[in-house]
Amino acid sequence: MRILIIGASGLLGNDLLGEWGRNEIIPATSRDADIRDIAQVRQLVTHARPDWIILAAAYSDVDGGERNPELAFAVNRDGTKNVAIAANEHGAKLLYISTDYLFDGTSNRPYEPDDPIHPLNVYGMSKAAGELAVREQMKQWVVVRTSWLFGASRTCFPEKILTAADTQSELRVVDDQVGSPTYTRDLAVAIRKPIQADAHGVLNITNTGSCSWFEFAREILHKAGRRTPVFPITTADAARPARRPAYSVLSPAAPAAYGITLRSWHDALDAYLAELRQKGKLR
Ligand SMILES: NC(=O)c1ccc[n+]([C@@H]2O[C@H](COP(=O)([O-])OP(=O)(O)OC[C@H]3O[C@@H](n4cnc5c(N)ncnc54)[C@H](OP(=O)(O)O)[C@@H]3O)[C@@H](O)[C@H]2O)c1
């Protein structure tokens, strides 16, 4: 099987590369093809001749999207549509990575794949438009919705907390947004399953359990042996440009059908910190 990974230089993309054999994958970054340009995408797909395309490329700056909605929609909606068109033309199947920020956070239970979506910010709206483009263009597709990614290949929330702990006397972190932190290595392993099973439809894949950003930060500091005090604040106190859902936990029911059960985010955090230590990025 030949797998084209678009977005191979990203936080998730880097770990996807590690999970597939070198002879199975064709990694592509924005230098190989800007997904906003259908001619570049067609050329990439023609050259790669993939059985599956994993689209992990995105405009992923949630606050930046509020200042630059044209770019967010150009990449996440139009770019996704271009990839879906090229995939269709070449008979490839498409796995699109999507987000918990499709939801408005008013649910009192984890979100199921067919719950109605209602994004609160431009990023979420542009990703929703990307999902729609995939459904409209493709006969066989998989949408993997995930949340709160962290991994060792690029800057992410745990790394920012550790850097802040070493440079600031105390930290303040939002305590009224709840979600499921997800380790990109675990997600990358899990993504193999729906592809091997020739799946179709929407799947939620996150590490198990949920917490607020404050609880996540407190656990990161504790596990990394940092004593910098951390205090809870509200979303209103944080005054970020983009609105975010107060609750965006995704139900893990669907992936169980493919034999996917991810470990708890606590255990995944241990593994992530061990990876940082092994790479000499954490003392
Ligand atoms: N990060 C999270 O917490 C989170 C949560 C839920 C869902 N997701 C979703 O998970 C996926 C992976 O996210 P991530 O955090 O790994 O993203 P990331 O680290 O920001 O990486 C984004 C990737 O997209 C590529 N890209 C951006 N614009 C492009 C363009 N016009 N043409 C081609 N490639 C382009 C970048 O390539 P270059 O480096 O070459 O520019 C990079 O490889 C995305 O679909 C995101 O929406 C992320």
- Give 221-279 pLDDT, tens digit per residue: 999 999 999 999 999 999 999 999 999 999 987 777 888 889 999 999 999 999 999 99
Contact of 182 with 150, CB cutoff 8 Å:
yes
d(CA 27, CA 129): 25
Q: What is the pLDDT of residue 22?
A: 79
Cα of 55 from ligand 1 centre, angstroms: 9
Q: Which two tokens stand for residue 262?
A: 């991810």
Percent of the chain with pLDDT over 70: 100
- pLDDT-derived band at 152 (thresholds 50, 70, 90) equals very high
pLDDT tens track for 51-83: 999 999 999 999 999 999 999 999 999 999 999
Cα of 6 from ligand 1 centre, angstroms: 9
Ligand 1 atom nearest the C-alpha of 150 is 3
Given 59, 101, 111, 123, the catalytic residue: 123
Q: How many CA atoms lie within 13 A of 31 on its CB side?
A: 4
pTM for this model (two decimals): 0.97
Helix axes 122-137, 80-89, angle to 10 degrees: 10
Task: Assess whether 96 carries a catalytic annotation.
Answer: no
Cα of 227 from ligand 1 centre, angstroms: 32
pLDDT tens track for 109-119: 999 999 999 99
